[in-house]
Amino acid sequence: MLTYEPGDSFAHRLDPRTKLAVQLSFAAAGLAHTTPVGLVVLGLVAAGCLRAADTSPLSALHGLRYAIPFLAVGPVVEAARLGAPWFEPAAAVEPALASVRVLLVFFVAAAYVKTTPVRESRAAVQRLVPGRIGIALGIGIALVFRFLPLVRRDLLRVREAQAARLGDERRLDERLSLVAAGGLRRSFARADALALALRARCFAWNPTLPVIRFARRDAAGLALAVALSVSVAV
Amino acid sequence: MATEHESVELVGDELVGNIARSALFAALMGAGSYVSFPNPISPIPVTMQVLVVFLAGIFLGPIWGGASMGLYLAAGGLGAPVFAGGSAGFAPLVGPTAGYLWSYPLAATLVGALVHGGVELRDYRVGTPRLVSAMVAGTLVVYTLGTVGFAYVQGVSLQSAFWAASAAFIPVEAFKIAAAVGIVRSDAIAAQ
């Protein structure tokens, strides 16, 4: 699974805001230049990002395996015809370029995920989104990361219990309803316990965040983001 | 650590509860992508995700239901493995399934607004026709945006996008709507 891994690569040491800016401008540049030449240039940029993050393209591809059928089906469906000549390769060119673009965005995003710990992402969000909305968003994001493994285990446990009692022979809506109701009950119980615990600890609007600061090395990343953004306008 | 030296202001009790519930619902949504069931109609497995969108609207109401789905997208975009197949990061938010993902906050808000009859949180135990029509409207939003998003990102026509990315999934939504009605009717959840 694609997830944060501690390390000391160049990308690990960048400010998370720089990395977010590169991702956003890369995606925008991809949309603006979905041409063979544009994609070759962006491919070089994506390779550079993976290199800076010390990430192999194969591991990034592994994290993207669910999307591969979608990427493959686009060109095929667009080129297929319900009569002679049945398949028109020219129509598949544009969707195929779009699939390559999506693939490149996945590589750049994988570099971010691999090199940015949750607490830095949260600090970046709270600094980028102003006021209490930003603080609430930061808290919420941190809580989702924290509770995801627990809720996931809750759901899988309910489903295993269902299978052990031959519940998997029931109709689909009944199975869905039982697993979802079990998950909901536990999630509400966890939310109530969490809210009580937060109140008991004087949960305040003044969170203590890790310091994130732009350094000289961020200049390279920011320059790349600016160049990509400018290329969108050109 | 970045420290502050001003006076501390506590978060209100009601807001703490709402933030906790939204975050847990967002986590439930993410966990739903790992739990799949065999599909009786097609070979593509069924996940719980759209069901959780409906439930967020029904149980949390339009504002916090929508907010919890927004949290789900934000956490996923920053690297929580919450998207289909446990994928994470910014890319799915601009990838072929982007339309679906961005539709979730809208759909949860719409379902919540229709069930609760406005932005205020009221009793969610409304009549079955209203419950079902709210979820049908939510499903329409999800698949319309999903199809348009796929067509835009993949550079294909709307018709191709519909056949490639939506047609196989729509019939299964009936099971999810039935499941959500079952949950609301069963009183298994004692949410206020």
ipTM of the complex: 0.91
Q: Which of A176, A183, A192 sits opposite B175 (nearest CB)?
A: A176
Judge whether A163 lies within some domain. yes
Paired tokens of B123: 């009793």
The alpha carbon of B77 is separated from its chain's Cα centroid by a whole number of angstroms, namely 15
The pLDDT, as a whole number, for residue B187 is: 72
* Same-domain status, A23 and A93: yes
Judge whether A46 lies within some domain. yes
Distance from CA of A116 to the nearest CA of B (A): 8
Interface test with A, best of B46, B90, B131 (most A CBs within 10 A): B90
The pLDDT, as a whole number, for residue A91 is: 78
Q: Inspect the interface and report whether the beta carbons of B27 and A102 lie closer than 8 Å.
A: no
* Same-domain status, A15 and A90: yes
Residue A160 has pLDDT above 80, yes or no: yes
- Identify all chain A residues contacting B78, using CB atoms and an 8 Å cutoff: 116, 118, 121-122, 125, 141
Fold of the B13-186 domain? Arp2/3 complex 21 kDa subunit ARPC3 (1.10.1760)
Say yes or no: B144 contacts chain A, CB-CB below 8 A: no
Average pLDDT, integer, range A24-44? 92
Say yes or no: B32 contacts chain A, CB-CB below 8 A: yes
The pLDDT, as a whole number, for residue B1 is: 62
Residue A208 has pLDDT above 70, yes or no: yes
Judge whether A15 lies within some domain. yes
Q: Which domain holds residue A20?
A: 11-116+213-233
The pLDDT, as a whole number, for residue B2 is: 65
The pLDDT, as a whole number, for residue A55 is: 86
Q: Which residues of A74-106 are buried (b: 16+ CB within 10 A; e: fewer)?
A: bbebbbeeeeeeeeeeebbebbbbbbbbbbbbb
* Same-domain status, A33 and A112: yes
Say yes or no: A81 contacts chain B, CB-CB below 8 A: no
Residue A48 CB-density burial (10 A; 0-12 exposed, 13-18 middle, 19+ buried): middle
> Which pLDDT tens digit goes with each residue over A78-134?
787 777 777 777 778 888 899 999 999 999 999 999 999 999 999 999 999 988 999
Tell me which DSSP letter residue B90 carries: S
Cβ–Cβ < 8 Å for B21, A173: no
What span, in angstroms and rounded, lies between the C-alpha atoms of A120 and A124?
Answer: 6
Judge whether A183 lies within some domain. yes
pTM over 0.80: yes
* Same-domain status, A80 and A15: yes
Site of tokens 């970046």: A124
Paired tokens of A217: 């090395």
Say yes or no: B84 contacts chain A, CB-CB below 8 A: yes
Neighbours of B44 (CB within 10 A): 13
What chain A residue is nearest to B48 in terms of C-alpha separation?
A176
The pLDDT, as a whole number, for residue B74 is: 95
* Same-domain status, A144 and A104: no
Cβ–Cβ < 8 Å for A131, B13: no
Judge whether A1 lies within some domain. no
Query: What is the number of structural domains in chain A?
Result: 2
Q: Rounded mean pLDDT of chain A?
A: 89
- For chain B, the domains span 13-186
What span, in angstroms and rounded, lies between the C-alpha atoms of A125 and B117?
Answer: 33
pLDDT truncated to tens, each residue of chain B (192 aa)? 666 666 788 888 889 999 999 999 999 999 998 888 887 777 677 888 899 999 999 999 999 999 999 999 999 999 999 988 788 889 889 988 899 999 999 999 999 999 999 888 888 888 899 999 999 999 999 999 999 999 998 888 888 888 888 888 888 899 999 999 999 988 767 644
Distance from CA of B117 to the nearest CA of A (A): 23
